Amino acid sequence: MSKKLHIKKGDLVKILAGNSKGSEGKVLTVDVHANRAIVEGLNKISKHTKPNAKNTNGGIVEQEAAIHISNLMLIEPANGTPTRIGRKRDESTNKLVRISKKSGEVIK
């Protein structure tokens, strides 16, 4: 059984801690087992690479690093404010849906 996280791929999030604190970005990938996510354009690191087929010269490449899920907060699509996430069972489909703790609206 897979774990349920409050962050999904494609969500707009705000970073709560670290060098990129206060920045907002879109989630590119989520690693459920490590509880980490990669956010587009944020938490950049410099990686030293050897020459290979993709990068013939090698050198220093800048890329995004994973951030722990607890340091991310979802931004509500409706009004653009950070909010906590809850889960509620939808009466019509009988499935769990994510809801905003601030407004109570369902988050797609």
Cα(33)–Cα(55) distance, rounded to whole angstroms? 30
Cα(64)–Cα(38) distance, rounded to whole angstroms? 7
pTM across the whole model: 0.81
Residue 10: other Cβ atoms inside 10 A: 10
Give me the tens of pLDDT residue by residue for the chain, a chain 108 residues long.
567 889 999 999 999 998 889 999 999 999 999 999 999 999 999 999 999 998 889 999 999 999 999 999 999 988 889 999 999 998 899 999 999 999 888 988
Fold classified for 1-75: SH3 type barrels. (2.30.30)
* Alpha helices for the chain (secondary structure H): none
Cα(62)–Cα(52) distance, rounded to whole angstroms? 16
Residues of the chain with CATH 2.30.30.30: 1-75
Check: CB of residue 103 under 8 Å from CB of residue 86.
no
